[in-house]
Homo-oligomer: A and B are copies of this chain.
């Protein structure tokens, strides 16, 4: 640990270098039209990587669980039409083979930070893994989880801070900006910030994005939807198109003030 952040390629985008990467897209892929419209917009605004959930883990077993395998084909079409590389959450190691030619990086969600079967098998692939921190995962456990991947030979781990649980329900989570700075000082994994989950409140996403960048994050993962109030999941923390455009405009001068710049395609 400790030292210079390693650079990891997702598609042909580098994460962990001087360029700051914005990964954007809907919480869940809802239909081809919806995903294409969102993907096109976030690309036009400067995002260089695409997100979109296909397998959704929900506290309530009867909530929308994502389009699941029905999304595979349309996701492939959209990423090709738009020309962005694509990350999506994997929730079971048996999805690996199907997802291998759908995603450019696997995302492991908070609920699976301790799913060591999943991490071990992802360690046996050669695809990058974006590893979110558990709801109440300590930093030590998070780095321990990363090791389940790297010990199998896959060094391409990207950490993602997404907020932790606290005693205060005023915001959905507490975005742990200390963790960003700690990871940069003490580990060589790149670290991405997810202020959508990290706040759970739409109008806090922009200031917390700037804060994460100022603290040294290597990029952002942002939920965007054409009509957040109609989103099938997480609408309350999702930016609409003008808000996302404002975020991108605010980021540029801030990154420049810390001697970084937005990644471009």
CA A213 – CA B225 in complex, angstroms?
28
Task: Map CB proximity to B onto A37-51 as digits: 1 under 8 Å, 0 otherwise.
Answer: 000000000000000
Task: For residue A14, give the distance in angstroms from its CB to the closest CB of chain B.
Answer: 22
Give chain B residues whose Cβ lies under 8 Å from the Cβ of A169. 138, 169
* A166 interface residue per 8 A CB criterion: yes
Q: Does A135 contact B (CB under 8 A)?
A: yes
Known interface pairs A59-B144, A91-B117, A211-B211; A182-B171 also in contact (CB < 8 Å): yes
9 shortest interchain CB distances as A-B pairs: A111-B114, A136-B136, A257-B257, A214-B214, A210-B214, A181-B207, A253-B257, A165-B167, A211-B211
Which A residues have a C-beta under 8 Å from some C-beta of B? 57, 59-62, 91-94, 111-112, 114-117, 134-136, 138-141, 144, 147-148, 151, 164-171, 173-182, 184-185, 198-199, 201, 203-204, 207-208, 210-216, 250, 253-254, 256-258
